[in-house]
Each structure stands twice: as C-alpha cells, then as structure tokens.
Amino acid sequence: MPDALHPAGHAPGRAPKDAPSRLITVTHVHHTGFTVASLLQSLPFWTDVLGFELVGTDTLKRPDFVEQVTGVADAEISVAMVAGAGQIIELLEYTRPSDRRDLRYRACDTGAAHIALIVDGLDALVDRARPYGWVPLGNPQTVPEGPWAGRRVIYVRGPDGVTIEFVELARPSEGPAEATLQTRK
C-alpha cells in the first residue's frame, strides 16, 4: 500500500518503474559540508576542541564553475577540509557574492540538518566548546527507554548556526545502546 515513504509504484529496495534498468548505487559518504562566516574563526573548534586534523585548503575562484556546482552566481569560496572520527568535514567560506545571509534554523525547521558525533566525556566537551562560541541548546539528556536507552545526547550550535549532536554511549551496565550501534553498522 502506498504511503509517504513508499509512493505508488515503488517498492522498498527497488527502483521506481520509470527508472533506468541499471540501479545506481551510493558507495559511501565522502564528506559533510558546512558554510561558515570565517575559516579563521571556525577551524580552531574543529581542530583544537574536537581534535580533527586539517587535511587541506583550497580557494575556488572560478565563479562559472562554482555556480554550476552550487547554483550560487558570482561565487568564490575558500575551503578547508578537516578529518577525524572517520569523517571528513568541509568548511566553506563564501567570499562572494556580497549578499550572503546568516540563517538560524531551529531543529524543527524544514531544511535544518545536523551531524551526530559519538563522544567520550560529553559534559567536559560541552564546557570546552563554549569559549569557541558553541552553546548547548538544552541540557544533556539520557535516553530513558528503547534501543538507544542509556545514551546521553545534546545538540550544540556554533556561531555560524551549524548544529552538532554529541552522543555519549551508554556504559554496558546502563543500557543496550552500544550493542545497538554495533548491530546497525
């Protein structure tokens, strides 16, 4: 029966009827990108607080190329790539166009996104992030029940509006969250 996740003519795990006969496969996630106001101000959080390594920088000064990739006309971008915890994060500082906007989404707003990082020492990490402009959006909470029971979680938001969820796994005596994480990989 069709529903929001499975429209008519589309079965889970199969291409829609009008799709090409050869299935296209996503092989892995390469990186997650965040637009920031300043690489100079943003990088210390990623390297000094989270311990990610700066693996490269670049400047994209071909507005025609950038527009075809991003849809932003007359754009130039300074880029920094940081890596850690099995992830690559791309930080993008648009130096053009001049009419850039500062957006502040709430987690419930359509288009809002976040990345979740498994951490040790959640409370200490939240405290360490504060001087870099990253603030918790509430108080750390322990998931009370279900397959993630015992995990501690909190959203933090940075000065550019980027949201990160810090997740501290349950200790084995506190719940099945770690086992659940391992079985879902």
How does pLDDT run along the chain (185 residues), one tens digit per residue?
555 555 555 556 665 666 666 788 999 999 999 999 999 999 999 999 999 999 999 999 998 999 999 999 999 999 999 999 999 999 999 999 999 888 888 899 999 999 999 999 999 999 999 999 999 999 999 999 999 999 999 999 999 999 999 999 987 664 444 444 543 44
Domains parsed from the chain with CATH numbers? 1-99 (3.10.180.10), 102-185 (3.10.180.10)
pLDDT at 15: 58
Among residues 102, 101, 121, 122, the alpha carbon closest in space to that of 164 is found at 122
Cα(138)–Cα(134) distance, integer angstroms: 12
pLDDT at 103: 86
pLDDT at 23: 85
**Do the bridges between strand 115-118 and strand 141-142 make them parallel or antiparallel, or are there none, so unpaired?**
unpaired
Long-range contacts of 25-32 (CB under 8 A, 24+ apart): 30/88, 31/81, 31/87, 31/88, 31/89, 31/90, 32/87, 32/88, 32/89, 32/90, 32/115
How far does Cα 17 stand from its chain's mean position?
32
Return all residues near 177 (Cβ < 8 A) that are at least 6 apart.
143, 147, 148, 149, 150, 151, 169, 170
pLDDT at 170: 86
Asked if residues 84 and 52 have their Cβ atoms less than 8 Å apart, the reply is yes
Asked if residues 66 and 77 have their Cβ atoms less than 8 Å apart, the reply is yes
